[in-house]
Structure 1
Amino acid sequence: MAELMALSPCAGLLPKTHGRWTLSEVDPGHLTWLSPFKGQRAALSAALQQAHGLDWPEVGKVSQGQQARCLWVGRDQAMLMGPAPDETLKGHAAVSAQSDGWSVLRLEGAGGDQVLARLVPVDLRVAVFAPGDVARTQCLHVNVTVMRDSDEAIVILGFRSMAETLIHEIESAMVSVAAQGNAG
């Protein structure tokens, strides 16, 4: 009998390094979509604090705990990254497992915003898009959520089905920017 083996969304495709940038896959742990029930946002935030050590994120921001992150992904929507969601969250929000549906990439290296400027219609310069900022946008024609992880790292969440396309487009931009002499 054949044995099935689970593969990550970017298995065999990453890492890629060009110029001063490296594109790698991130294992985010569990990904869980949360949307508070009507009138339950404050209660959900309290439950998140109690269970995971973080609050409901502000618009365009990340809430960070020791073991988890909660990313704003739209009006009354967030993505919990890291641990499995505590059962108490279900009393305050719609909770949906998303782990199998997403790829999570990390573009690391000074000036990664120069690479993504060719692909993403959001100003990702660190002076404008600081660590902890999140935007829901597009990478060319692919819907993504981008998060500034540090001054030199940007995390890109995209649908698993589009992982190969995202990698191809970001790698092409890395090669182009590096060839233009912006790599160092």
Structure 2
Amino acid sequence: MVELVAKTPCAGLLPVSVGDLRLEECEMLPMSVIMPYAGKAEAVGTALQKAHGLALPSVNKAEIDGETSVLWFGQGQFLLRGAAPDAGLSDLAAVTEQSDAWAVVRLSGAKAVDVLARLVPVDMRLSAFPEKSTVRTDLMHMMASITRLGHDSFQIMVFRSMAQTLVHDLKGAMEAVGARG
């Protein structure tokens, strides 16, 4: 009989370091997409605040408290990461469990913005993004969610099936930036 072994999306691929740049896989945490029903966004925000201590973020923003976060995830969509959603949310919103669907990595280092600048569209200026900002964008040829966690730290999420490509593209950009000194 075949014995299945659970693996993280980036198993065997990370961590990677180039100079002070570091790319590492984030801990696998519960993730759920929350899509408030028509007219229920305010009630969803109140329920999230009560249950998880985090409000619904505005467009391109994130609410973060330790390992738990709520990210703006698109028009009328939010991603709760780090906690299972309160059961009462299902009366106010469509809630879809997504924990196994995403590869989540953290890129950090003084030139992390320079690495991402090589991979995102020209009109993106991640250097101007304040902390706790998030954006859905193309990263090379993959749809990604990029959240600025700190001055030199970004969380990057892509579909799990793209984990190897993500690591390959980020490692190549890290090496190119590192070669420039």
2:87 maps to what in 1? 87
1:100 is paired with a residue whose SS is coil
The count of residues paired between Structure 1 and Structure 2 equals: 179
* Structure 2 letter corresponding to 1:22: R
CA distance 1:98–1:5, shift in 2 (3 Å)? same
Aligned partners of 1:28 and 1:81 also within 8 Å = no
* Structure 1 letter corresponding to 2:108: E
Instruction: Give the TM-score of the pair, scaled to structure 1.
Output: 0.94
Aligned partners of 1:52 and 1:65 also within 8 Å = no
Superposed, which structure 2 residues align to 1:5-20 within 5 Å? 5-20=5-20
1:38 maps to what in 2? 38
* Structure 1 letter corresponding to 2:106: R
2:2 maps to what in 1? 2
* Structure 2 letter corresponding to 1:124: L
2:139 maps to what in 1? 139
1:175 maps to what in 2? 175
| Deviation for aligned residue 1:83 | 1.0
1:85 is paired with a residue whose SS is coil
| Deviation for aligned residue 1:66 | 4.8
Q: Deviations over 1:69-123 (max 9, x none)?
A: 0000111101000011110111110000111110001001112000110001221
2:100 is paired with a residue whose SS is helix
Aligned partners of 2:62 and 2:71 also within 8 Å = yes
* Structure 1 letter corresponding to 2:152: E
Aligned partners of 1:63 and 1:69 also within 8 Å = yes
2:167 is paired with a residue whose SS is helix
The CA distance in 2 between the partners of 1:66 and 1:106, in whole Å, is: 15
* Structure 2 letter corresponding to 1:49: Q
Show structure 1 runs of 5+ residues with no match: none
Show structure 2 runs of 5+ residues with no match: none
The CA distance in 2 between the partners of 1:3 and 1:28, in whole Å, is: 21
Aligned partners of 2:67 and 2:82 also within 8 Å = yes
* Structure 2 letter corresponding to 1:119: L
The runs of at least 4 consecutive aligned structure 1 residues that moved more than 6 Å come to none
Aligned partners of 1:44 and 1:89 also within 8 Å = yes
**Is residue 2:116 matched to residue 1:124?**
no
Aligned partners of 2:54 and 2:69 also within 8 Å = yes
Instruction: Give the TM-score of the pair, scaled to structure 2.
Output: 0.96
**RMSD, aligned α-carbons:** 1.0
Deviates more, 1:60-69 or 1:111-120: 60-69
